[in-house]
């Protein structure tokens, strides 16, 4: 049963938050938020317990209920899901602390509703991580879409309503039209939806159909923001920054790329993709998305929008890794889930902190801000370097393995794509840092450092980027079993 | 126990005049008690039907060729359960809603007609005599016209009148078909008809009978393009009636269609396959897409749900047209699921009308703040209509899509999925109005518990049967297998 605990705990947190906030009111917000954090910590602890269990060679499986004959809601732990769950639950703790600082610093309305849906979304993300079959994954994938909608539209303005429409429109359109039909098709061909090492489709599907099915899956996981289904992500930036940070840099988008990785490894199997050559076009789409969105990021002045396009680009790294269908490609993609999560959440935290402390949203307003917000900008620098992919920060590992993977896949051109994209990311991130440190501060500036509850989490995640570099081998060892035996 | 089939029909039928005699004060308690008893009987009949062969009950001891026989198999059990359970919940809901929407001197008449309608619908599903089907069809239809005409708006009268015309044409067609069949076979019993039709199947008379009966049923079912009576009828009827009829009446018409297609004519008509693929399939797809599209542009939420019903009727027919066990299972389970969801949603609107006097988008502005519990029920029910996983709507759509895949009709699966997206559009239009628009007045006015509890019973049932799918799936798949078994 222990596998259900980390999925149930965030739900319990949601009920507690809703209960306390709804019945006792805003005056008891310290109790509400404290309980929220405590449950977040307990959830993370449970996930680490599972991790320890997995490294000792235990396996965890649990089947809850058969929704349709032979299609149960079932959970099991495998390395990819373990990694995703660790990332989601770990960053939930820091984000919840950050969110208190941000929401209070901003006097946001409806905090109870916000934190309730926040916890539900985390539960859904962990549910996605531990899904044992496509059906379960689809269920939690949709719960994640719907539970984040109230947060995207938190301000209930016309702008939020429009963004919410695009958000829900694209995510539901892709998941219902493509992902669900891919799932039914898979079920029709193979008679099972269980994630099985080596895949379930080999020998059952005609070679010509493989690229089509792969396309349905890849575009169906609209949360991965592959172009041309990426527009929801920049639009979702109307949400309060903690949402952008945890959900649109970590949980939601990673659920998308996680789905693609998982499908490549456990539904198709790496061999099927490489022998049929069905992955070529996906590499091309991912490569194109990666470059185009980096280029767009260069042109944007709004800090959060720039980070959003950077996220689209970085997600395509992971899709590219999956599309390579080689051992290093998959490892690189999986590692990049963790590395990018830590780096990007730092950047979003900083963007939010700048908004709280200085009320600035545009890059061009950030002249000399480092003198007023030293901690924030230091963390921003660390996060940027990690996203660019330089040692000694975590981001380096993901890019290293992706480079290896493209050579293994005999597509050295993609090494060049990765290089160019890294250069582009230098181009859209470093000018912000340079501006903050080297331009003079305008005279009439009244900015100050963000509240402690904001600054501590962002320093913690910046530190996390360093720690992940050291933990590179640990993650590598965790992921390695799933690609053993594959070319 | 052995008299349950006849009690199922006779109890509501005889209670109707009693309710009229008892008068206003006792009308509601007696009616809802009868509703509960009928629901209990229907559940008992379903479980009996599941446990063995079809149950035959000869009226007055006169057996088949002479007397009228009632026949309960899994399919009729399913329909009886839908009518019984929805009827009971709606009748409990009725007390406050009816008190608010119908003038006091007519309330006891309303309840009496409601009971007549229930007994008529039940009769259609339980009898094995085709002429008897016609009789009950008329009982249920006439009472439905009366129920719709009791709506507060003067347009309820014209809506009822239009339904009366169309319904009468439909009923007459069915009767003509029955007459032709009787002429050719000399029997009115369904089992006898099934065994005698093959010998004369290749005559134009039988073909004409088939055509009359199916078109008659399609009119009553409101399949596009024979649907024009439905939107107005559901929009202007009292809330209770909209909830009850949307959840039951069309389902019973679908049952008639299925009985005609599978039991009476079976494979004996060559035209059957042609009619499935060339007539029903395109019509159902037009209904699914067209109904949903029109729903998007409605400004009255009741009318919006009515058009959504047209699309859902398309799903029923689609499962029949795809012509395999999986799709028909999907169709049959959708009968039940849709009854829960649409019944629940119309009851939500009943709550809204009770407080705000109407259910137009303008009146529902800011409902999320004024009636938070009611508004949330609409969201959940709406998710079911869209077919989000873990709601009942998902289960039916899954079966329909798998059924389409089994027939190799990929594009049909595509249409089903696409129409779910249109459902998102029309549901979300309401959701945005409820949660993003400023309310006209700001004071909170949540509906009373007497309305909320039955509403939530239906809405929560649509979630429960989306997760705990085993029992209804068992019923629907045994019914579908029985129908296809009968064909072989």
CB pair distance less than 8 Å for B417 and A180: yes
The DSSP annotation for B151-184 comes to SSSTHHHHHHHHHHHHHHHHHHHHHHHHHHHHHH
Give residues with Cβ within 8 angstroms of B394, minimum separation 6. B387, B388, B466
**Between these two residues, B78 and A53, which has the higher pLDDT value?**
B78
Mean pLDDT computed over B117-129: 93
pLDDT in the model for residue B269 = 57
The reported pLDDT for the residue numbered B1 is 61
The shortest CB-CB distance from B417 to any of A143, A158, A177 is to A177
Mean pLDDT along residues A157-181 = 89
Q: Across A239-243, A244-248, B126-130, B193-197, which has the greatest mean pLDDT? A: B126-130
Cβ-defined contact of A146 to B388 (cutoff 8 Å):
yes
Bridge partners (DSSP) of residue A74 are A63
B446 DSSP 8-state letter: P
CB contacts under 8 A, A 117-146 vs B, are 135, 138-139, 142-143, 146
In this predicted model, what pLDDT tens digit does every residue of B421-451 receive, in sequence order? Answer: 999 999 989 998 888 888 877 777 888 898 9
Q: Which residue of B has its CA nearest to A179?
A: B417
pLDDT, tens digit, 9 for 90 and up, residues A403-440: 888 888 888 888 888 889 989 999 999 989 998 888 88
A42 touching B, CB under 8 A?
no
Please list every residue in chain A whose beta carbon sits closer than 8 Å to the beta carbon of residue B387. Answer: 176
CA pair distance B459, A453, nearest whole angstrom:
41
Q: How far apart are CA B216 and CA B177, in angstroms?
A: 9
A67–B contact, CB cutoff 8 A = yes
Interface test with A, best of B388, B392, B429, B477 (most A CBs within 10 A): B388
Q: Which residue from A minimizes the CA distance to B464?
A: A67
A446 in B contact zone (CB under 8 Å): no
Distance CA A246, CA A240 (A): 11
Question: Mean per-residue pLDDT for A242-253?
Answer: 83
- CB within 8 Å: B401 and A172: no
Identify the band that residue B270 occupies on the pLDDT scale cut at 50, 70 and 90.
low
CB nearest B435 (choices: A156, A185, A188): A156
- Return the pLDDT at B294: 93
User: What is the average pLDDT across B213-237?
Assistant: 90
CB-based contact, B395 to chain A, within 8 Å: yes
Please enumerate, as own/partner, the contacts of B228-232 that have beta carbons within 8 Å and a separation of 24 or more: B228/B162, B228/B166, B229/B159, B229/B162, B229/B163, B229/B165, B229/B166, B229/B167, B230/B163, B230/B306, B230/B309, B230/B310, B231/B303, B231/B306, B231/B307, B231/B310, B232/B155, B232/B158, B232/B159, B232/B162, B232/B163
Q: Do B417 and A176 touch (CB under 8 A)?
A: yes
- For residue A69, give the DSSP letter: T
Query: How far is C-alpha A124 from the chain's CA centre?
Result: 13
- Cα distances (angstroms) measured from residue B174 to each of B133, B188, B369: 9, 13, 49
Nearest CA in chain B to A136: B389
Asked if B433 reaches chain A (Cβ–Cβ under 8 Å), the answer is: no
Please determine, for residue B121, whether its predicted confidence score (pLDDT) is greater than 50. yes
The pLDDT assigned to B271 comes to 56
Using CA coordinates, name the residue in chain A closest to B406: A188
> Does the pLDDT at position A485 exceed 80?
no
Peptide bond into B225 cis (omega under 30): yes
Strands (E), B24-182: 55-58, 69-72
Of the candidates A65, A138, A187, the beta carbon closest to that of B468 is on A65
- Angle made by CA atoms B85, B89, B93, in degrees to the nearest 5: 165
Provide the mean pLDDT of chain A: 87
Mean pLDDT of B23-51: 91
| Whole-angstrom distance, CA of residue B15 vs CA of residue B192 | 33
The interface residues of chain A toward chain B in range 369-428, judged by CB-CB distance below 8 A, are none
Q: What is the pLDDT of residue B441?
A: 77
Overall average pLDDT of the A165-181 stretch: 90
Rounded to the nearest angstrom, the minimum Cα separation between B380 and chain A is 11
Residue A487 pLDDT > 50:
no
Q: Is the pLDDT of residue A186 over 50?
A: yes
Confidence (pLDDT) at A443: 78
Q: CA-to-CA distance for B142 and B148, rounded, in angstroms?
A: 10
Residues 6+ apart with CB under 8 A from B210: B177, B260, B265, B269, B271
pTM of the model: 0.90
Model pLDDT, residue B273? 65
Question: Which token pair is B158?
Answer: 């014209």
- Report whether pLDDT(B409) > 70: yes
What percent of chain B is predicted at pLDDT more than 90?
Answer: 57
CB B56 within 8 A of CB B70: yes
Q: Is the pLDDT of residue A309 over 70?
A: yes
Cβ <8 Å between B470 and A66:
yes
Rounded Cα distance between A276 and A203, Å, is 11
Which residue in chain A is spatially nearest to B421 when comparing CA positions?
Answer: A173
Q: B441 and chain A: CB distance < 8 Å anywhere? A: no
Average pLDDT value for residue range A262-268: 90
- A172 interface with B at CB cutoff 8 Å: yes
Nearest CB among B401, B466, B473 relative to A184 is that of: B401
pLDDT of residue B248: 93
* Whether the predicted pLDDT of B253 surpasses 90: yes
Contact across the interface for B424 and A161, Cβ inside 8 Å = no
B interface test, pick of A145, A172, A192 with most B CB neighbours within 10 Å: A172
Nearest 10 degrees: Cα torsion B43, B45, B46, B52: 150
Task: Give the residue on A whose Cα is nearest the Cα of B468.
Answer: A67
């Amino acid at each position: 049963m222990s596998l259900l605990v980390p999925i149930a705990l965030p739900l319990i947190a949601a009920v507690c938050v809703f209960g306390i906030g709804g019945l006792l009111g805003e005056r008891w917000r310290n109790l509400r938020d404290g309980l929220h954090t405590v449950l977040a910590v307990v959830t993370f602890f449970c996930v680490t317990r599972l991790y320890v269990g997995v490294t000792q060679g235990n396996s965890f499986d649990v089947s809850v209920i058969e929704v349709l004959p032979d299609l149960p809601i079932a959970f099991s732990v495998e390395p990819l899901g373990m990694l995703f769950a660790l990332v989601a639950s770990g960053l939930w703790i820091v984000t919840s602390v950050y969110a208190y600082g941000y929401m209070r610093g901003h006097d946001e309305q409806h905090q109870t509703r916000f934190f309730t849906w926040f916890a539900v979304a985390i539960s859904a993300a962990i549910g996605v991580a531990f899904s044992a079959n496509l059906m379960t994954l689809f269920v939690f994938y949709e719960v994640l879409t719907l539970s984040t909608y109230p947060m995207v539209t938190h301000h209930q303005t016309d702008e939020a309503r429009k963004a919410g429409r695009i958000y829900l429109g694209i995510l539901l359109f892709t998941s219902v039209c493509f992902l669900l039909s891919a799932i039914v098709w898979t079920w029709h061909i193979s008679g099972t939806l269980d994630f099985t090492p080596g895949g379930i489709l080999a020998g059952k599907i005609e070679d010509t159909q493989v690229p089509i099915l792969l396309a349905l899956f890849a575009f169906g996981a609209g949360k991965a923001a592959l172009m041309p289904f990426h527009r929801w992500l920049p639009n979702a930036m109307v949400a309060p920054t903690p949402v952008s940070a945890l959900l649109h840099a970590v949980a939601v988008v990673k659920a998308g790329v996680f789905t693609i990785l998982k499908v490549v490894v456990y539904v198709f199997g790496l061999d099927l993709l490489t022998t049929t050559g069905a992955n070529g076009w996906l590499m091309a789409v991912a490569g194109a998305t990666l470059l185009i969105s980096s280029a767009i990021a260069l042109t944007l002045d709004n800090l959060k929008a720039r980070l959003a396009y950077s996220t689209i680009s970085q997600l395509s790294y992971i899709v590219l890794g999956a599309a390579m269908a080689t051992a290093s490609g998959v490892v690189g993609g999986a590692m990049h889930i963790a590395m990018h999560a830590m780096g990007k959440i730092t950047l979003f935290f900083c963007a939010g902190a700048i908004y709280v402390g200085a009320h600035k949203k545009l890059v061009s307003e950030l002249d000399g801000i480092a003198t007023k917000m030293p901690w924030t900008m230091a963390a921003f620098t660390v996060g940027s370097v990690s996203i660019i992919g330089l040692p000694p920060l975590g981001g380096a590992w993901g890019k290293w393995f992706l480079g290896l993977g493209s050579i293994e896949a005999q597509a050295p051109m993609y090494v060049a794509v990765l290089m160019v994209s890294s250069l582009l990311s230098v181009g859209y991130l470093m000018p912000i840092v340079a501006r903050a440190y080297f331009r003079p501060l305008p005279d009439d500036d009244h900015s100050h450092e963000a509240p402690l509850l904001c600054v501590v989490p962002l320093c913690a995640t910046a530190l996390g980027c360093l720690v992940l570099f050291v933990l590179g081998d640990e993650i590598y060892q965790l992921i390695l079993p799933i690609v053993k035996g594959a070319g | 126990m052995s008299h349950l089939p006849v009690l199922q029909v006779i109890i509501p039928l005889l209670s109707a005049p009693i309710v009229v005699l008892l008068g206003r004060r006792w009308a509601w308690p007696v009616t809802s008690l009868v509703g509960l008893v009928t629901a209990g009987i229907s559940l008992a009949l379903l479980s009996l039907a599941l446990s063995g062969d079809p149950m035959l009950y000869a009226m007055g001891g006169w057996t088949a060729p002479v007397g009228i026989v009632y026949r309960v198999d899994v399919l009729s059990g399913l329909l009886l359960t839908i009518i019984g359970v929805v009827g009971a919940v709606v009748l409990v809901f009725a007390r406050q809603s009816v008190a608010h929407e119908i003038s006091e001197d007519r309330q006891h008449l309303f309840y009496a007609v409601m009971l007549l309608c229930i007994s008529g619908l039940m009769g259609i599903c339980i009898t094995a005599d085709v002429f008897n089907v016609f009789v009950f069809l008329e009982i249920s239809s006439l009472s439905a016209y009366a129920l719709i005409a009791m709506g507060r708006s003067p347009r309820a009268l014209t809506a009822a009148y239009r339904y009366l015309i169309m319904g009468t044409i439909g009923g007459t067609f069915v009767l003509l078909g029955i007459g032709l069949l009787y002429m050719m076979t000399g029997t009115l019993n369904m089992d006898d008809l099934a065994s005698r039709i093959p010998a004369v199947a290749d005559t134009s008379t039988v073909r004409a009978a088939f055509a009359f009966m199916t078109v008659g049923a399609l009119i009553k079912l409101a399949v596009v393009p024979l649907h024009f009576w439905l939107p107005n009828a559901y929009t202007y009827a009292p809330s209770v009636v909209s909830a009850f009829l949307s959840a039951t009446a069309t389902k019973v018409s679908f049952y008639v269609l299925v009985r005609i297609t599978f039991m009476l004519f079976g494979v004996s008509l060559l035209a059957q396959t042609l009619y499935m693929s060339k007539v029903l399939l395109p019509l159902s797809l037009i209904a699914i897409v067209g109904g949903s599209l029109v729903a998007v542009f409605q400004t009255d939420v009741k009318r919006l749900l009515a058009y959504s019903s047209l699309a859902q009727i398309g799903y029923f027919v689609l499962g029949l047209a795809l012509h395999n066990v999986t799709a028909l299972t999907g169709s049959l389970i959708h009968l039940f699921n849709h009854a829960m969801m649409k019944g629940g949603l119309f009851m939500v609107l009943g709550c809204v009308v009770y407080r705000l006097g109407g259910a137009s988008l303008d009146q529902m502005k800011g409902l999320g703040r004024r009636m938070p519990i009611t508004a949330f029920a609409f969201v959940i029910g709406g998710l079911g209509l869209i077919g989000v996983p873990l709601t009942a709507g998902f289960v039916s759509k899954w079966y329909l899509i798998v059924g389409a895949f089994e027939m190799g009709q990929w594009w049909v699966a595509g249409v089903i999925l696409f129409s779910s997206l249109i459902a998102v559009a029309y549901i979300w239009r309401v959701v945005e109005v409820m949660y993003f628009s400023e309310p006209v007045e700001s004071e909170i006015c949540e509906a009373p518990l007497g309305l909320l509890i039955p509403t939530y019973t239906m809405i929560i049932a649509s979630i429960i049967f989306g997760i705990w799918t085993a029992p209804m799936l068992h019923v629907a798949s045994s019914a579908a297998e029985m129908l296809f078994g009968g064909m072989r």
